[in-house]
Structure 1
Amino acid sequence: MDRLRLGLVGYGYWGPNLARNFHQLPEAWLVACADADNARLAEAARLYALQQTANDARALIENPTLDALVIATPARSHFELVSQALNAGKHVLVEKPLALTSADARALTDLAQKNKRVLMVGHTFEYNPAVWKIQELLDAGALGELYYIYANRVNLGRVQTDINALWSIAPHDVSIMLALLKQMPLSVSAHGATYLHQGIEDVVFALLNFPNNIVGHIHASWLDPSKTRQMTFVGSEKMIVYDDVDPEAKLKIYDKGVYKRGDAFGEFQLRVRSGDLYIPKIDLTEPLKYECAHFLECIRDNKTPRTDGENGLRVVRVLEAAQESLKQNGTPIQLNSMDADKRG
């Protein structure tokens, strides 16, 4: 079977990772790349023997020999580039977030359905074996009743000037929470602070209130002394710490909890229980490789991607609500019942 011919738009920060992974997949043939920087284009052409390079994405969009486009450009350009690519009959993999408004995300999703093209969003952590293991544990009820989740995704850099830390960093943790809980939050609130560039929050704290009294908290910042990529899941029976930067123990499962103990007088006391620590073996295959292979599979087999346009839209809905809360100094923003039930 012929390989799928791909074009990559954007060879800056994330584009090289996408190019490397698609180049390693036998089902794909990376033949074209567009970027505004000629030096970056020259590097891509040297590494992958490209048939076409261009400074303007339209050259790839209008190339009839390309089956799909992979878009790794700044978020502000996503709506225009994705819509043009879909209208040109291309399948599209676009980096997160899908768009900067839910209206644009909805329009792109509808356009992909109308044109019968695969639209997939690069929520890479939904292709992470560690996240799959957490899903397995939650589905099996291993944690008991899930109480809350909190995420720390901080680093010194990469500072941006067109979108804040919420839109740049938090999409990862939002997508993980929505995927694992299989539902939308009922409300979202957020606080943030600006230090480096007027009007662009460098640090954001977002609170997602889910059904069944489950709380999700996200700390996102590019102004922090250490690189942390950690999520903690607290349940009534067990707790999980997911540390994405730990090369040997990405998941730690703690047999810990608090339970009620009755006495002779019918009263209850709260007791702390501390058991074993378990570190499961996790597949260390690069999640981006799984993501890229899934995109090709969906094109070949006419499948709906795990992170399709609807998935991307849900993440944008949460980010949009958090952004509105930032504007309102932390006022909780309610997501209507129809949105909350989409994954229920």
Structure 2
Amino acid sequence: MRSGAVRVGLAGLGYWGPNLARNFGDLPGAELKWLCDRDAQRLEAQAARFPGPDRTTHFDDLLEDPDLDAVAIATPVVTHADLAREALLAGKHVFVEKPMALAAEEAEELVALAEERGLVLMPGHLLLYHPGVSKLRELVHSGELGRVLYVYGNRQNFGQIRRDENALGSLGAHDLSVILHLLEEEPTEVWARGESFLGEVEDVVFCYLRFPSGVVAHMHLSWLDPHKMRRMTVVGDQKMAVFDDMDLERKVTVYEKSAEAPPLTYGEWRTRTGDISIPKISNAEPLRLECEHFVALVRGEGDPFAAARDGLAVVRTLEQLQRSLERERV
């Protein structure tokens, strides 16, 4: 197990990078040693907020620092795989924002490289560290919901309208990572259909997934919707549960609802409705928990390869969904 502070260098100071800088900079057991961005003005803009780390416009400066333990990558998605590969080859542990690659072949290469070199490769699937999602997973795996029948996610809003990636690529990784996390299996059948109303890319996408256990899942992804929704619903044969990230008071709600088989003397199915419960959910910041987990993995606590394999499953399934989407275009 590693002793001393884990020294982290951050590449990318756009929209999300400063949030990572804040957490790695404040985290006990970690030291934010480098800030890197190709835009010198961005670096200078963060100098007052983060005066301690060295600053550079060259990613190689991080890789060539023998005292640096890990690199966090929050650059544009198209650069994730290449930068993660360079960091692993330089012997650095890697935290990379989702998705870690755009193609399953690239993701497989990264996972193999990390395992070969004994390095942590952790994709930043933030929702997996949300206390509400942790509670939802607990409900699933404790058996409280009974046998899981189906799962569905709603990730909709009005905007931000994109031109360079469709709703599946922009929004799908969030809910897909949660679905795979809850079910702990990869789908055997996927189907996606979308429509391009505002431009060349799909503004709304509907996805269907079937798993070896018989569970089915659905995702509704859109930036052309009157409702802002960030919701995941799990339906079991004993209870049902909803995680709603937009609800400040009820992050998770458990419904004691189920269908009962008809008795021999009565030929219709009956529904049973019982209590509605709202479990207490921690208000801990998910990003803080995510960064803590990465630092713990670097220090030798836990399975160093599990997060990378889970991230690979997300990339692999997204690729299958995108292929289905392309086949279904009319």
TM-score by length of 2: 0.93
> In the superposition, relative to structure 1, how do residues 305 and 175 fare at CA in structure 2: closer, same or farther (>3 Å)?
farther
1:162/1:287 Cα in 2 relative to 1: closer, same or farther (>3 Å)? same
Contact 1:121 1:307 in 2 (8 A): no
Q: Contact between 1:149 and 1:234, CA under 8 Å: does it hold in 2?
A: yes
Q: Which amino acid aligns with 2:114?
A: A
Residues 153-176 of structure 1 show CA distances to partners (whole Å, capped at 9, x for unaligned) of 122333443332212211111111
Map 1:116-195; keep pairs closer than 5 Å.
116-195=118-197
Q: Return the alpha-carbon distance in structure 2 between the equivalents of residues 234 and 328 of structure 1.
A: 30
Q: Against the structure 1 CA distance between its residues 197 and 67, is the aligned structure 2 distance closer, same or farther, given a 3 Å change threshold?
A: farther
Distance in 2 separating the partners of 1:57 and 1:226: 40
How far off is 1:309 after superposition?
A: 1.6
The aligned runs of 1:229-308 (5 Å cut-off) are 229-262=230-263, 264=265, 267-301=266-300, 303-305=302-304, 308=307
Question: For residue 203 of structure 2, what is the aligned residue in structure 1?
Answer: 202
Question: Could you list the per-position Cα deviations for residues 164-211 of structure 1 after superposition, in whole angstroms to 9, with x for gaps in the alignment?
Answer: 22122111111111111111111111011223442x222211111112
Give the Cα–Cα distance (whole angstroms) in 1 for the partners of residues 96 and 314 of structure 2.
14
Alignment root-mean-square deviation, CA: 1.9
CA distance 1:172–1:69, change in 2 (3 Å) = same
Name the counterpart of 1:45: 47
Q: Quick one: structure 1 residues 202 and 284, their matched pair in 2 at CA, closer, same or farther if it must change by over 3 Å?
A: same
Write the deviation string for residues 206-237 of structure 1: whole angstroms up to 9, x where unpaired: 11111233111011122333321001111111
**Consecutive unaligned residues in structure 2, runs of 5 or more:** none
Amino acid at match of 1:72: A
Between the two proteins, the alignment pairs up a number of residues equal to 328
SS in 1 for 2:47: helix
Change (3 A) 1:307 1:152: farther
Deviations 1:40-82 (A, max 9, x none): 2123221111432223323323333321110011211111100
Q: How far, CA to CA, are the matches of 2:300 and 2:164 in structure 1?
A: 37
Alignment of 1:23-102 (within 5 A): 23-102=25-104
Residue aligning to 1:316: 315
* Bigger mean CA offset, 147-156 vs 162-171: 162-171
1:126 Cα deviation after fit = 1.4
The residue type paired with residue 212 of structure 2 is: P
Q: Which deviates more, 94-103 or 125-134?
A: 125-134
Check conservation: 1:149, 1:216, Cα contact below 8 A: yes
Q: Per the alignment, do residues 223 and 37 of structure 1 end up closer, same or farther by CA in structure 2, a change over 3 Å counting? A: farther
Partner of 1:45: helix, strand, or coil?
coil
Q: Give 3-state SS (helix, strand or coil) of 1:48's partner.
A: coil
Contact 2:37/2:58, CA 8 A, preserved across alignment: yes
Q: Is 125-134 or 236-245 further displaced after alignment?
A: 125-134
Contact 1:260–1:271 at 8 Å: present in 2 too?
yes
1:169 aligns to what SS in structure 2? Answer: helix
